[in-house]
Structure 1
Amino acid sequence: MMNIFRLAGDLFHLISIFILIHKMSTSKSCAGISFKSQALYLLVYVTRYLDLFWTFALYNSTMKIIFIGSSAYVLHLMTGPFKPTHDPNIDTFKVRYLIGGAAILAVLFPYKWTPAEILWTFSIWLESVAILPQLFMVQRTGAAETITTHYIFALGAYRALYIPNWIYRYLTSTFWDPLSVIAGIIQTVLYSDFFYIYYTKVLQGRKFELPV
């Protein structure tokens, strides 16, 4: 069901993609961007949007193709022309724990015991923590370029807006998806410190720096 919260969330998602690709293309660099987070997001979209092979709806299918295609393109830039600008020494978050945890939860608590539903559940849990390698990089360096912080903020706003989307759907049609709500809350909580510093520094025209 379409509503203003979902539309706004999708808009922020598209904005985050545009900001990221624009930053990398104009600077000819992927410095400050976590390859591991980007790889996790591609894994999220590939496992979630398997229904592209058997269902089609203009809006939803277009968005799914954009998300998969843009994530693959970003990884191409990071492993190809801009690879020398990525520093793996600071992109060191152990993502196997995130993937393993999401896989365990997906097997234990799927809506249905089918491969498609298990993979969909896996993608929901994984997306809730996929930003951690990126936030970890920012924490390690103690600062970030302004345009990178805009990207992270837009990505966080996208997921935060999906929470009122689920509430609105429940109030208007009694449809309730507790898994998506819980995962969205987890992700928003992970962003909370970043949102605060972004509001108090970046939006005030100051450089994004973590408190010492």
Structure 2
Amino acid sequence: MEIQIMCRYLDLFTIFISPYNTVMKVVFLALSYATVYMIYMRFRNTFDSENDSFRVEFLLVPAVCLSLLKNYKFTPVEVLWTFSIFLESVAILPQLFMITKTGEAESITTHYLFFLGMYRALYIANWLWRYHTEGFFDQIAVVAGVVQTIFYCDFFYLYVTKVLRERGKMTLPIPV
């Protein structure tokens, strides 16, 4: 979601932490925008409008409301950062909805989703390490990250049982 990307690093222009932090934020933004470009321009013919019927307002409205109610400081930059964290935690739901609706996913899609989920799971390891070594705990990021990882758990199970063991396209079991 483009809006999540735009809101995440607004502090890039107001707060300097380190050269490493600044470079990593710029790289993340550049790669994120490159991905969005590829999705909407280069590979737009792969868009499945018939099955992509998830209503994103069901994600946007709660993320906006939560970010207005639960933030560390009621400033535009902080509220938008919080919004991006909450939105990221549920941003995978449209893709999971589409997989459930169609009953299958291409191998490349499942690998991509798996590594997105692993990225989030590694964030949890990072939070544990930072709490242990620095005493740092970001309640908003941790709660949103745990919620996001929970959404991935069922997908992880299907990925291991269907994609890795059967070496192919993910097909979901037919409900009885």
Q: Same fold (TM over 0.5)?
A: yes
By relative contact order (CA 8 Å, sep 6+), the higher-ranking structure is: 1
Cα separation, partners in 2 of 1:143 and 1:172, compared to 1, 3 Å? same
Match of 1:157 among 91, 110, 118: 118
Counterpart AA for 1:203:
L
What pairs with 1:71-110 in structure 2 (closer than 5 Å)?
Answer: 71-110=32-71
Partner of 1:46: 6
Matching residue's letter, 2:172: L
Gaps of 5+ in 1: 1-39
| Aligned position for 2:172 | 210
Report runs of 4+ in structure 1 exceeding 4 Å deviation: none
Change (3 A) 1:88 1:62: farther
> How far 1:56 moved relative to its partner?
5.9
Q: Tell me the residue number matched to 1:141.
A: 102
Partner of 2:71, secondary structure, is coil
Cα distance in 2 between the residues matched to 1:74 and 1:174: 35
State the match for 1:166 in structure 2: 127
Corresponding pairs, count: 172
1:115 aligns with 2:115: no
Answer yes or no: is 1:186 the counterpart of 2:141: no
Match of 2:28 in 1: 67
Output the amino acid matched with 1:62: V
Distance 1:74 1:172 in 2: 34
TM-score, normalised with respect to structure 2: 0.89
Gap regions ≥5 residues in structure 2: none
> Which segment is superposed worse, 77-86 or 134-143?
77-86
TM-score computed with the length of structure 1 as normaliser: 0.75
Q: CA separation in 2, counterparts of 1:173 and 1:111? A: 19
Deviation at 1:85, TM superposition (A): 2.5
**3-state secondary structure, aligned to 2:136:** coil
Compute the displacement of 1:84 (Å): 2.5
State the alpha-carbon separation in 2 of the partners of residues 175 and 56 from structure 1. 16
- In structure 2, the CA distance between the partners of 1:105 and 1:143, relative to structure 1 (3 Å rule), is same
Change (3 A) 1:210 1:68: same
How far residue 134 of structure 1 moved from its aligned partner, in angstroms, is: 1.0
Q: Which amino acid in the other structure matches residue 130 of structure 1? A: A
Counterpart of 2:45, as a letter, is P
Contact 1:128 1:184 in 2 (8 A): yes
